[in-house]
Amino acid sequence: MSRPTPLRDVHEGLGATLTDFAGWRMPLRYGSESAEHKAVREAAGLFDLSHMGEIFVTGPQAAAALDYALVGHLSAVTPGRARYTMIVNERGGVLDDLIVYRLGDEEFMVVANASNYEKVGDELKNRAKSYDVVVEDRSQQYALIAIQGPRSQEILATLTDADLAGLKYYAGLPGLVDGRQALIARTGYTGEDGFELFVANQDAVPLWHTLMAAGEPHGLKPAGLSSRDTLRLEAGMPLYGNELSAELTPFDAGLGRVVKFDKPGDFVGRSALEAVKDDPPRRRLVGLVARGRRVPRHGYPVTKDGAVVGEVTSGAPSQTLGKPIALAYVDTGADSGLAVDIRGSHEPMDLVELPFYRRNK
């Protein structure tokens, strides 16, 4: 049985198409996913992300515990800032990619993907046993609403006195939004400017309605998982289970920069990652743009001269580019003459630099 988010009645009232995702009943789309995608690129979109996990690590040794448990240097993060990082196994395989918010000197919030947060919580508890910390999964206490798009600050500013203009990317601050306590974070998964609002479950419905009322004159639309996926794909952002898995290291995914070997002490997976950090990867993650109209999808083979040289991890029509696009792992050195086998037809692809889309700042 899939769990509903605190906004279930809102989604049903809007006529959303609902789907089961990572054990949750989530809105796939409210109408046209292309219109939702376009709204985020040109104005703003409102997302229910309450399926994400929030795990709190608190105590005198919270920073040291996270330095050991994760690949990032979390003790170097100042209060009020956030860091994209990963948790890996002893072999260096990615168990999840995370955003960690430092809320205070001795308090961190680890935000994990919906499909992994229970596993992440268990791993953090196990890895923190020898540290003076408390690890607590508070995922059931929080709703998460994201407003994303170039007009998101303009809309949100009508409902809060928080200093949004001074809030840097990957930073967060506590504040009141429409009189309701929230952690306001300048983070997102769309390639656009925007904010993620962590609020108590009981505040989710009234806050959603207030945001929609404030934003509709500016073009704000509710947006579902379908548009969120095409937006993150255009931005070249990885999705766990597609571009990331326990069989791949951060270096395989081209994200070796998140591994901080220069931090003090040991960390889980360090030896395995040090052994491969200077090795050229057998495959690399690349962007592909179709020359035709057929869409490459997850799992389709990538070929060169008829031979398989890789596999598509994510693919969709790009509303912004007007062409089908894909992320794929391909053999190192396979840089040209690529195609994707789409049901027996080898459709030619151009390899491009990621991301496919980069917003004007």
Q: Which residue numbers belong to the known binding site for substrate?
A: 196
36 token code pair: 């939702």
Rounded Cα distance between 301 and 311, Å, is 5
CA-based nearest residue to 63, from 79, 51, 49, 52: 79
Cα angle 52, 25, 3 (rounded to 5 degrees) comes to 75
Give dist(CA 196, CA 47) in Å, integer: 9
Helix axes 117-127, 62-69, angle to 10 degrees: 110
What sign results for the dihedral spanned by CA atoms 58, 126, 197, 166?
A: positive
Judged by phi (left if over 0) then psi (alpha if -120 to 50, else beta), residue 248 lies in: beta
CB atoms within 10 A of CB 59: 17
Binding residues: 196
Sort residue 103 into left (φ over 0), alpha (ψ -120 to 50) or beta: alpha
Helices (H) and strands (E) in the chain, counts: 8, 20
Query: Comparing C-alpha atoms, which of 119, 112, 187, 180 is closest to residue 147?
Result: 187
